[in-house]
Structure 1
Amino acid sequence: MDFAGLSAFPITPADAAGRVDTENLARLVDRLMVARVDSIGLLGSTGTYAYLAREERRRAVAAAAEALGGAVPLLVGVGALRTDGARALARDAAEAGADALLLAPVSYTPLTDAEVFEHFRTVAEATDLPLCIYNNPSTTHFTFGAELIARLAEVPGIAAVKMPAPAGDIAADVAKLRAAVPEGFAIGYSGDWVCAEALLAGADTWFSVVGGLLPEVALRLTRAAQAGDAAETRRLDARLAPLWALFRAHGGLRVMVAGAQLMGLTAHAAPRPILPLGPEATRAVAEALEQVRGIA
């Protein structure tokens, strides 16, 4: 896996007891494979990894890997509170067919840079798979600085970073990171509403929430950006703006689940205590999806 292009992150359908519906999951990843996304991000935040037991996470990886048959690289989230737990999840993912790992510094007690460095170094040693740093301060309450990312980029096996939307200029953020990390270390972003500009600024990867639901449109945007077609990239991004507004207002997971239900892709809800969107927000999701369907 080279961590480039569109990495699409689907939901993980599961029942109220947290048992993964592997048949439904296989159908979801199959449609991403048919769309020819560059990779699939399984068990990310949109994939509700933190709400699933270890065995269910392993079942999800095995089902996705079997459905894909090696046709599309599979990036699997292995975040856990404890380092030994994350190592065990990394080994499970590798044995079940993952091609790469995604690790967030999940914590209850706030972590220091030294603790995060050791956590990542230790998990990276658990398998031979490449590992992507997941910088997601909104959920982990830990923010990776460029210096820490640069140190981790020198650790064998750590090959990429998944960044959130920056507070400032996206092009400046990409440039700062590019100057800090070794050549060949992949830089990607996951705040969908800034990813068009991130790709145009030279980011390697769009770790995409919307790509897990609408892979064709996300892939068109990605290819336009990779070709340097700024006008087409921004045109497509503007048509997706209603979804970006919904993501920021309600969170990508709630919108993705509502969208998947509206499109007939799943009947499963998000895990409790997350509640479904109300009628007004659900109508707004339906309208945003209709606008995307009208993209020419």
Structure 2
Amino acid sequence: MGTAVPAAGCATGAGPMLRSSGGCISRPLTPGRPVDVHRPQRLPLTPLRDDALDERAFIGLIDRLRVAGVDSITALGSTGSYMYLDRAERRRVTQLAVEHAGPVPVMVGIGALRTSVALRYADDAQAAGARALLLAPVTYQALTDAEVYALFETIASAVSVPVVVYDNPGTTHVTFSDDLYASIGGLTNITSIKIPPLPSHGEEAADRVRTIRGVIPGSVTIGISGDASAATGLLAGCDAWYSVIGGTFPAAALSLARAALSGDADDARAQSTRLQPLWDAFARYGSYRVITAAAEHLGLVGPDSLPHPVSGLPAPARAHVAQVVDRLLTHA
């Protein structure tokens, strides 16, 4: 999965080279282990201060994840505000994430409204040492299935690291059919699909996972998103969890994931039930604002750290989130 394929005409004597839309990137692929798409993925915030990247706070979040012993880090996901950042900001976030993650592999979100821009983000991420790319079909005008497929075909054929399909209909307003999963899953370099939350009933969730698995190649993994659905998804057969809380509270996410992936259904469900007040806050206010309020409450990021016009929670909601964090997650 981590082996790069050189572009035509690229010299290979110095080791594996990156292949990109702009041709060869002369620097060899950064050594290190690949992103394990069978393991939980942590999505940290990208905090701002005075409308600029708060590098110190971001480094602190990455250091926190590395010290916790996470398997991988996903920078510039939805929790990481990727669509609010320009190219220079994204490039800097990626550089800092890779630098401070140490041996922990980093996946980077590259979603953009235009294919050509996503290709440039892919170039930047690979050049900085990203071990995988997370791609969502971001929209303003509605996209057809053919247009979504063309986006993934273009990106996947132009890069030399794994690509994860980011199915996030609530944000992108793109709904993936099973046929679209099948066609995109067959593309070169597509290694995982991040799916939306599953039905809460265990057997219905398992049926849905089996259906998806039946149409995609065996080499493509399935990752659950929506933290309230994590235990259900992992117990239903998902391979990984793309975790919002894992980017800020890695211990809590790791504990739940270990229980579910080891087959300890009772423990996994009990841990998820214990976190229900947090899931309720996510449902009421949105996970993006809630996890930001939690990080601000703990001093992990500064106040007013979201990109305007997005603003933080109102005072009563912030107080509620603080109570939940103090009760459930202070040591997580």
Q: Deviations over 1:190-235 (max 9, x none)?
A: 1111110100111011000011111101100000111100111011
Instruction: State the partner residue of 1:56.
Output: 89
Instruction: State the partner residue of 1:6.
Output: 40
Instruction: State the partner residue of 1:145.
Output: 177
Q: Deviations over 1:236-262 (max 9, x none)?
A: 101111111111111111011100011
Question: Is the contact made by 1:91 and 1:126 (CA closer than 8 Å) also made in structure 2?
Answer: no
Matched, 1:24 2:60: no
Q: Quick check: which has more Rg, 1 or 2?
A: 2
Distance in 2, matches of 1:44 and 1:179, equals 27
Moved over 6 A (4+): none
Q: Deviations over 1:39-89 (max 9, x none)?
A: 1111011100000001100000001100012x2121110000000000100
Cα offset, 1:2, TM superposition: 2.6
Cα offset, 1:293, TM superposition: 3.5
Q: Which moved more, 1:278-287 or 1:211-220?
A: 278-287
Cα offset, 1:125, TM superposition: 2.0
Aligned residue runs from structure 1 range 1-296, under 5 A: 1-17=35-51, 19-69=52-102, 71-166=103-198, 169-268=204-303, 269-293=305-329
Aligned residue pairs total: 294
Question: Is the contact made by 1:16 and 1:271 (CA closer than 8 Å) also made in structure 2?
Answer: no
Counterpart secondary structure, 1:125: helix
Question: Is the contact made by 2:111 and 2:137 (CA closer than 8 Å) also made in structure 1?
Answer: yes
Larger RCO (alpha carbons 8 Å, 6+ apart): 1
Question: Is the contact made by 1:196 and 1:221 (CA closer than 8 Å) also made in structure 2?
Answer: yes
Counterpart secondary structure, 2:50: coil
Question: Is the contact made by 2:198 and 2:232 (CA closer than 8 Å) also made in structure 1?
Answer: no
Distance 1:27 1:295, change over 3 A: closer
Question: Is the contact made by 1:74 and 1:100 (CA closer than 8 Å) also made in structure 2?
Answer: yes
Identity of aligned residues (%): 44
Distance in 2, matches of 1:91 and 1:133, equals 17
More helix by share: 1
TM-score normalised per structure 1 = 0.96
Distance in 2, matches of 1:56 and 1:13, equals 11
Distance in 1, matches of 2:135 and 2:42, equals 16
Q: Deviations over 1:101-136 (max 9, x none)?
A: 000001111000110101111011222010000001
Unaligned runs of 5+ in 1: none
Distance in 2, matches of 1:294 and 1:234, equals 20
TM-score normalised per structure 2 = 0.86
Question: Is the contact made by 2:36 and 2:71 (CA closer than 8 Å) also made in structure 1?
Answer: no
Q: Deviations over 1:145-170 (max 9, x none)?
A: 11111111111011111111145732
